[in-house]
Amino acid sequence: MFKAFKIIIGLIIFCSLFSGLAMAKEKYPSKADGYRETAMFNGNQNMPFTLYGIAIDWHLDCLKGKGDKCMRVGEAMEAGEGDLVAEIRAALGYYLAACEKGEGVGCTKAAMIMRAGSANFISTELAQKTATRGCDELGNQDSCVVKAIGLSANGDPMAGVNTSTLIESAYSKGSDYGCQIKATNLFRTEGDEGALESAIAMFEKACREGHAWGCTGLAEAYSDGIGVRADRTQALSAARSGCLESEGNTVPACSRYGYLLIRNGPQRNMSLGIKLLVKACLASDAFACNEVGEVGWKRPLGTGITAWEVPLYFRDGCDLNNADACFNLASIYEIGFDQLAEHQSPMLSLLEKACSLGSAEACDKIKSMGRAVELMRKRPPKVDPSKTALQQLAIAVEFAEQKKYAIALDAVVRLMHEGVPEASWVLGGWFYYGYPGMINEPRISDGIILIENAARLRHVEAAKWISMAYWYGDNVAEDREKGQQYMAFAAQSGDPEARDIYRSMLAEPIRQERARREREMAEEAERRKHDWGYQISLARAGWLQAQQGSSYGTGNSAAASASWQRSQSALDKLNWNNAVGYATGRTTACPISNPYC
């Protein structure tokens, strides 16, 4: 009897759990449950978006003051749950609302997104204000760490004392961020064996507990022999664990793992090492960008890295403030590597940036140049190569508008020779449509080549443009299959307009009336001309935003540690994990919509 009773109770519990799981499955935002057009202010704009189903209820509860519901809809928007379109700019608005309503974790997430620029704008002031609220008013210890990083980056005269106090307090109260930053700062302390010993112990403990940052630190220690005897096997083991078996931001661990595979592993590991480094560079890991560039420059055979890609990897690394990447970029300019032969020069400003970021080689190189340095400083380039590629493009477009055509053209061509896709997109438009005073007669063939090159480099607007050119046979041989392929890439990259156009392409009958086709082609050509100018103006606004900040800063430990705090969105983490799984053979699919594939 008792046994039968237990079975019945067990069945009731099982059914309840099954029912709960079924309900949980249903509670994903679904178009079938209705929609609502709305907007949230994210510190920069009222961001419009569409909510579906249960997300509407979360949104309404958020407006009524329920901070946990603000977090819930923010996380759903960030990850693109159910039928929602992933939109971190909207998610940021909800995290800010959650912070206002007393959710400290919302303050942390919002501050990190605004400081990192993940929502297409940077606001250090609002980020610091938000982190301060999360720390001082709501007691969120991760917010205290973000606040500490902000104090250091803002040049506060008391930053050293305040930062250390905040981080130590956060660490003592169980903040994983606090532990991470403390360990990293100890590891970077020069000439203090006790600090190194403590850092290694913290790395080991964190790695054992499955935190990627701990494995990354441990891999670096064993790889470079810092605080421990250099041990390639231990370094590889720690890096592999951090990349493939840990939680959190695994990008730096995968970057280190790729580096160790190509530097110390057998030749058969070269391919995997390159794949991991390339993907880590796409994920904005500056160390990885420099390493890929070095391999392509110094050991190109069998790597699959072409000569034209080398300056682009160094540019990406330098724009992310990697000293070695800036020095290497200056070096290949000096020797006139590949297409840079047209712009051969010492590139003093790149050397000075590398030196300020800690490259002893760059500092020595500047000293060896003697009096030539002062002469070059008196006549600096109008478009400074030490600025980021996008900052330089913004300046070049300004010079074009000021009718200083030679300066503008030289800068954009130079960036094109660095492999920067935006430069090919801008230059392609100038050539295709002409630019009175600079390119008086359109050079249509050259323009098409440049725009298609930008599309091949995953530039979405260029892909849409060249797709329609092939679709209608506008100044190229009509090739509907190729047109569909380019539009498919743009659509799968998440562009809503491209998705709509791609659907209409698939629905288009093969045979069409010639007169209608000709009319549509003319209309489309005019639309693309308007779109090119419009998209350049939009892009320029973003480039100008990038221009607001300093192109590089100081190398203090807390600021350096901030790179370990890279803010990865939920969708970004899913994409990254999928790409790494594909590279290592753990999964068989990596869709084109994944930016790391």
Q: Are residues 395 and 534 in the same domain?
A: yes
Q: For residue 289, what pLDDT band results from cuts at 50, 70 and 90?
A: very high
**Mean pLDDT, rounded, for 76-86:** 90
**Mean pLDDT, rounded, for 566-595:** 62
CB-side neighbour CA atoms (13 Å) of 192: 12
Predicted confidence (pLDDT) per residue in 466-480, tens digit? 999 999 899 999 999
CATH number where 513 lies = 1.25.40.10
Using CA atoms, how far apart are residues 330 and 390, in angstroms rounded to an integer? 18
Cβ neighbours of residue 456 closer than 8 Å, sequence gap 6 or more? none
Using CA atoms, how far apart are residues 491 and 497, in angstroms rounded to an integer? 8
Q: Are residues 191 and 336 in the same domain?
A: no
Q: Are residues 115 and 259 in the same domain?
A: no
Q: For residue 576, what pLDDT band results from cuts at 50, 70 and 90?
A: low
Using CA atoms, how far apart are residues 597 and 595, in angstroms rounded to an integer? 6
The SS3 call for residue 403 is coil
**Mean pLDDT, rounded, for 247-272:** 87
**pLDDT: is 162 or 25 the higher one?**
162
- The dihedral of CA 522, 523, 529, 535: what is its sign? negative
Residues in the chain: 597
Of 344, 359, 383, the domain-final residue: 383
Q: Helical H runs in 402-479? A: 405-417, 421-433, 444-456, 460-472
Structure-token pair, residue 136: 């001082």
Q: Helical H runs in 303-359? A: 309-319, 323-335, 348-356
Q: For residue 597, what pLDDT band results from cuts at 50, 70 and 90?
A: low
pTM exceeding the 0.85 threshold for the entire prediction:
no
- Lowest mean pLDDT: which of 193-202, 285-294, 430-439, 511-520? 511-520
Instruction: Specify if 19 maps to a domain.
Output: no
Using CA atoms, how far apart are residues 253 and 218, in angstroms rounded to an integer? 10
**Mean pLDDT, rounded, for 288-293:** 96
Contact 237, 245 (CB under 8 A): no
The SS3 call for residue 35 is strand
- Residue 382: predicted pLDDT: 93
Q: Are residues 515 and 436 in the same domain?
A: yes
Using CA atoms, how far apart are residues 432 and 448, in angstroms rounded to an integer? 7
Chain mean position to CA 156 = 28
Q: For residue 591, what pLDDT band results from cuts at 50, 70 and 90?
A: low
Amino acid at 358: G
**pLDDT: is 588 or 314 the higher one?**
314
Instruction: Specify if 7 maps to a domain.
Output: no
Instruction: Specify if 409 maps to a domain.
Output: yes
Structure-token pair, residue 113: 């997104």
Instruction: Specify if 441 maps to a domain.
Output: yes
- Residue 261: predicted pLDDT: 92
- Residue 14: predicted pLDDT: 41
- Residue 303: predicted pLDDT: 76
- Residue 587: predicted pLDDT: 67
- Residue 563: predicted pLDDT: 36
Cross-strand partners of 527: none
Taking alpha carbons only, the member of 463, 417, 414, 466 closest to residue 444 is 466
Using CA atoms, how far apart are residues 591 and 283, in angstroms rounded to an integer? 16
Predicted confidence (pLDDT) per residue in 165-186, tens digit? 888 888 888 888 889 989 988 9
The SS3 call for residue 151 is helix
Q: Are residues 397 and 524 in the same domain?
A: yes
The SS3 call for residue 382 is coil
Instruction: Specify if 74 maps to a domain.
Output: yes
**pLDDT: is 521 or 57 the higher one?**
57
Instruction: Specify if 165 maps to a domain.
Output: yes
pLDDT at 6 over 50: no
* 6-10, 262-266, 395-399, 588-592 — most confident range: 395-399
- Which backbone phi and psi does 358 adopt, to 5 degrees? 115, 10
Predicted confidence (pLDDT) per residue in 187-243, tens digit? 988 888 889 999 999 999 999 999 999 999 999 999 999 999 999 999 999 999 999
- Residue 437: predicted pLDDT: 92
Q: Are residues 476 and 450 in the same domain?
A: yes
Q: Are residues 524 and 408 in the same domain?
A: yes
How many domains are there within the chain?
4
- Residue 556: predicted pLDDT: 35
Instruction: Specify if 227 maps to a domain.
Output: yes
Chain mean position to CA 365 = 31
Of 76, 109, 139, the domain-final residue: 139
**Pairing status of strand 35-41 against strand 46-52:** antiparallel
Separation in Å, CA 230 to CA 65, 219, 287, 394, 490: 54, 10, 20, 45, 46
Secondary structure (DSSP) of 499-544: HHHHHHHHHS-S---HHHHHHHHHHHHHHHHHHHHHHHHHHHHHHH
- Residue 506: predicted pLDDT: 84
Using CA atoms, how far apart are residues 295 and 312, in angstroms rounded to an integer? 13
Amino acid at 48: P
With 0-12 / 13-18 / 19 or more C-beta atoms within 10 angstroms meaning exposed / middle / buried, residue 33 is middle
Q: At which residue do the structure tokens 């810092």 appear?
A: 226
Q: Are residues 63 and 120 in the same domain?
A: yes
Of 139, 167, 183, the domain-final residue: 139
Q: Are residues 517 and 399 in the same domain?
A: yes
Q: Are residues 566 and 544 in the same domain?
A: no
Q: Are residues 273 and 124 in the same domain?
A: no
- Characterise 436 by phi-psi region: left (phi > 0), alpha (psi -120 to 50), beta (else): beta
Using CA atoms, how far apart are residues 126 and 224, in angstroms rounded to an integer? 38
Using CA atoms, how far apart are residues 371 and 405, in angstroms rounded to an integer? 31
State which residues form the domain around 77.
31-139
Cross-strand partners of 46: 41
* 292-306, 329-343, 523-537 — most confident range: 329-343
- Residue 522: predicted pLDDT: 61
pLDDT at 341 over 80: yes
- Which backbone phi and psi does 47 adopt, to 5 degrees? -85, 115
Predicted confidence (pLDDT) per residue in 480-514, tens digit? 999 999 999 888 877 888 888 888 888 765 445 44
- Residue 24: predicted pLDDT: 45
Structure-token pair, residue 377: 């400083």
Q: Are residues 500 and 379 in the same domain?
A: no
Using CA atoms, how far apart are residues 277 and 291, in angstroms rounded to an integer? 7
Instruction: Specify if 294 maps to a domain.
Output: no
- Lowest mean pLDDT: which of 43-47, 244-248, 368-372, 593-597? 593-597
